């Protein structure tokens, strides 16, 4: 069977390269006239997929001659890469952009760009058009690769640009990437989602599933490993359906199998897996692999079968538990984490209690828990039986209490053991202590030295609390 072509043409990427060149020349001229280089500041909200997209925006901005800075005040280019998953993320983006108005008043040279999931929604586009006149360029998740040509058009013509073309949803290969970390990297293996969970905005703002070709992914990872990257996270909204859209016979387990053949000292993580199609084959491949981290992030969302059905998750708790049991049978040491939503419309007290029971049965190492946030245009937002904010908060407190106890018990089991930890460097909150992550993603604090950063260390765990492990280096 012929492989489907879902990739943006080489000619289109070449065209964007030319625009990058043109802007670079303008920016060089600016430097010659003003004695300083133009600077770009990129603000990223939301998930790892957005972080990965921002590294591409940053790569393109660098190639266009901007110095990347981490404060907006001095920037000539501000890019806000937005998120739409919950209302809070949208409000944050709007309030931050509101603050940039003052920077623009001081510096008319400043261009403000908004992109990402929030600005694909028609009501938000209209909002920004009317209420944020200082936003110069807006483009959606399908048009990331067009950033150079849109910026060039704005520089030449001066008019505001609102670019949106959902027909363009495709895979862009060959964009420059400026990675934020020199030993940890994101690699998208697929984009978009076909699942339409009834609470979720993602399928509406990121389009249908499209996978990168296996050889492209393997090539990128080989290059990363060869240049010293130690921890690589494969990204996709539902990695378990990797490859299906390409119409070929390989799947995500085959991709992991191929990646694992790459020689070197590195770990591969992946997220996110959908329980409806997390296969035994995938778990089998992980269990015999050398480099795939023993960590499974498997969003459960709720413990009640009725709620799961209304969420359109297409599994029940029994099926979910079956996957967990198989993971533990094949990899007893595997860390299992999850996402949980509390206060989904119509969730009764008893159904919420089923989520608590499920936590006690599964015993996750850690969960990411979310208060349900209605998203305009999704079926769940239209449901009549919305839960009050107070009740949602009450459920959240209860959920955290149950999970925190379980997390603490798991962490305490680590005391006395020696674990392999990738050192992230000096801890952000306490600059006399170093921190790192175990294979399963648990944070560990220890006395380290500068040269430990980016290295795997053996740490003997001496103490544990709910959120972290504490230990000492072992030679």
Among 237, 337, 403, 438, which residue interacts with ligand SF4 (rule: CB under 6 A)? 237
Cβ neighbours for 106, distance < 8 A, ≥ 6 positions apart: none
Q: Are strands 335-342 and 366-371 parallel, antiparallel or unpaired?
A: parallel
CA–CA gap between residue 280 and residue 323 (Å, rounded): 8
Picked from ligand 5AD, ligand SF4, none, the partner binding residue 86 (CB below 5 to 8 A depending on kind) is ligand 5AD
Smaller CB separation from ligand 5AD, 141 or 143:
141
Smaller CB separation from ligand SF4, 203 or 264:
203
CA–CA gap between residue 411 and residue 408 (Å, rounded): 5
Among 36, 196, 290, 420, which residue interacts with ligand SF4 (rule: CB under 6 A)? 196
Minimal distance, residue 378 CB to ligand SF4, in Å: 9
Could you say whether residue 195 binds ligand SF4 (CB under 6 A)? Answer: yes
CA–CA gap between residue 472 and residue 409 (Å, rounded): 20
Which of 140, 139, 166 shows the shortest CA–CA distance to 154?
139
Picked from ligand 5AD, ligand SF4, none, the partner binding residue 195 (CB below 5 to 8 A depending on kind) is ligand SF4
Smaller CB separation from ligand SF4, 204 or 446:
204
Picked from ligand SF4, ligand 5AD, none, the partner binding residue 196 (CB below 5 to 8 A depending on kind) is ligand SF4
Picked from ligand SF4, ligand 5AD, none, the partner binding residue 238 (CB below 5 to 8 A depending on kind) is ligand SF4
Could you say whether residue 200 binds ligand SF4 (CB under 6 A)? Answer: yes
Picked from ligand SF4, ligand 5AD, none, the partner binding residue 39 (CB below 5 to 8 A depending on kind) is none
- Build a one-symbol-per-residue string for 250-279: x at contacts with ligand SF4 by CB under 6 A, - elsewhere: ------------------------x-----
Cβ neighbours for 34, distance < 8 A, ≥ 6 positions apart: none
Minimal distance, residue 197 CB to ligand SF4, in Å: 3
Minimal distance, residue 196 CB to ligand SF4, in Å: 6
Picked from ligand SF4, ligand 5AD, none, the partner binding residue 370 (CB below 5 to 8 A depending on kind) is ligand 5AD
Minimal distance, residue 341 CB to ligand SF4, in Å: 9
Minimal distance, residue 358 CB to ligand 5AD, in Å: 14
Q: In the structure encoding, which two tokens stand for residue 295, read together?
A: 């960590």
Instruction: Say what angle helices 280-288 and 317-330 make with each other, to 10 degrees.
Output: 20
Interface with ligand SF4 (CB under 6 A), residue total 10
Minimal distance, residue 195 CB to ligand SF4, in Å: 4
Segment lying near ligand SF4 (by CB under 6 A), choices 48-56, 190-198, 387-395, 414-422? 190-198
Among 144, 202, 341, 464, which residue interacts with ligand SF4 (rule: CB under 6 A)? 202
Minimal distance, residue 414 CB to ligand 5AD, in Å: 26
- Classify the C-alpha dihedral 342-344-350-356 as positive or negative: negative
Picked from ligand 5AD, ligand SF4, none, the partner binding residue 341 (CB below 5 to 8 A depending on kind) is ligand 5AD
Segment lying near ligand SF4 (by CB under 6 A), choices 26-34, 197-205, 419-427, 456-464? 197-205
Sheet holding 161-163, edge to edge: 67-69, 39-44, 77-82, 111-116, 137-139, 161-163
Could you say whether residue 197 binds ligand SF4 (CB under 6 A)? Answer: yes
Segment lying near ligand SF4 (by CB under 6 A), choices 43-51, 193-201, 403-411, 441-449? 193-201
* Binding footprint of ligand 5AD on the chain (CB under 6 A): 85-86, 199-200, 299, 301, 339, 341, 370, 372-373, 375
Minimal distance, residue 236 CB to ligand 5AD, in Å: 12
Smaller CB separation from ligand 5AD, 86 or 213:
86
CA–CA gap between residue 13 and residue 200 (Å, rounded): 31
Among 74, 161, 166, 203, which residue interacts with ligand SF4 (rule: CB under 6 A)? 203
Smaller CB separation from ligand SF4, 176 or 203:
203
Could you say whether residue 193 binds ligand SF4 (CB under 6 A)? Answer: yes
CA–CA gap between residue 88 and residue 261 (Å, rounded): 42
Question: Which residues of the chain form contacts with ligand SF4 (CB under 6 A)?
Answer: 193, 195-197, 200, 202-203, 237-238, 274
């Amino acid at each position: 069977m012929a492989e489907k072509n879902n990739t943006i043409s080489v000619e289109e990427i070449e065209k964007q390269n030319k625009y990058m060149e043109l802007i670079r020349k303008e920016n060089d001229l600016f430097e010659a006239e003003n004695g300083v280089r133009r600077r770009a500041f990129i603000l990223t909200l939301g998930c790892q997929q957005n972080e990965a997209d921002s590294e591409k925006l940053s790569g393109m901005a660098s190639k266009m001659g901007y110095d990347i800075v981490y404060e907006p005040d001095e920037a000539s280019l501000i890019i806000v890469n937005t998120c739409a998953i919950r209302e809070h993320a949208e409000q944050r983006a709007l309030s931050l952009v509101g603050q940039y108005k003052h920077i623009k008043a001081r510096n008319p040279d400043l261009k403000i760009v908004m992109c990402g999931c929030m600005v694909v929604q028609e009501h938000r586009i209209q909002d920004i058009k009317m209420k944020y006149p200082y936003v110069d360029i807006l483009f959606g998740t399908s048009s990331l690769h067009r950033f150079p040509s849109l910026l060039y058009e704005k520089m030449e013509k001066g008019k505001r640009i609102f670019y949106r073309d959902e027909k363009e949803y495709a895979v862009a290969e060959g964009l420059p990437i400026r990675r934020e970390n020199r030993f940890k990297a994101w690699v998208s293996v697929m984009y978009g989602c076909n699942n339409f969970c009834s609470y979720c905005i993602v399928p509406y703002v990121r389009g249908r599933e499209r996978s990168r070709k296996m050889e492209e992914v393997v090539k990128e990872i080989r290059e990363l490993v060869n240049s010293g990257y130690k921890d690589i996270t494969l990204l996709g909204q539902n990695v378990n359906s990797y490859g299906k859209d390409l119409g070929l016979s390989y799947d995500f387990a085959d991709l992991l199998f191929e990646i694992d053949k790459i020689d070197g000292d590195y770990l591969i993580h992946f997220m996110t897996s959908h329980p409806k199609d997390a296969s035994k084959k995938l778990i089998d491949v992980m269990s015999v692999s050398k480099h795939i981290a023993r960590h499974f992030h498997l969003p459960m969302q709720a413990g009640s079968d009725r709620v799961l059905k209304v969420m359109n998750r297409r599994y029940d708790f029994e099926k979910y538990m079956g996957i967990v049991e198989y993971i533990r049978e094949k990899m007893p040491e595997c860390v299992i984490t999850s996402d949980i939503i509390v206060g989904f419309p119509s969730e009764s007290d008893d159904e919420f209690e089923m989520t608590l029971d499920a936590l006690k049965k599964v015993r996750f190492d850690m969960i990411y828990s979310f208060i349900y946030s209605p998203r305009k245009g999704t079926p769940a937002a239209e449901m009549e039986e919305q839960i009050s904010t107070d009740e949602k908060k009450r459920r959240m407190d209860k959920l955290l209490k149950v999970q925190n106890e379980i997390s603490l018990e798991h962490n305490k089991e680590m005391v006395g053991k020696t674990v392999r930890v990738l050192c992230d460097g000096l801890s952000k909150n306490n600059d006399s202590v170093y921190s790192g992550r175990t294979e399963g993603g648990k944070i560990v604090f220890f006395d380290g030295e500068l040269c430990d950063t980016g290295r795997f260390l053996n740490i003997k765990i001496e103490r544990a609390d709910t959120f972290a492990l504490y230990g000492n280096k072992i030679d």
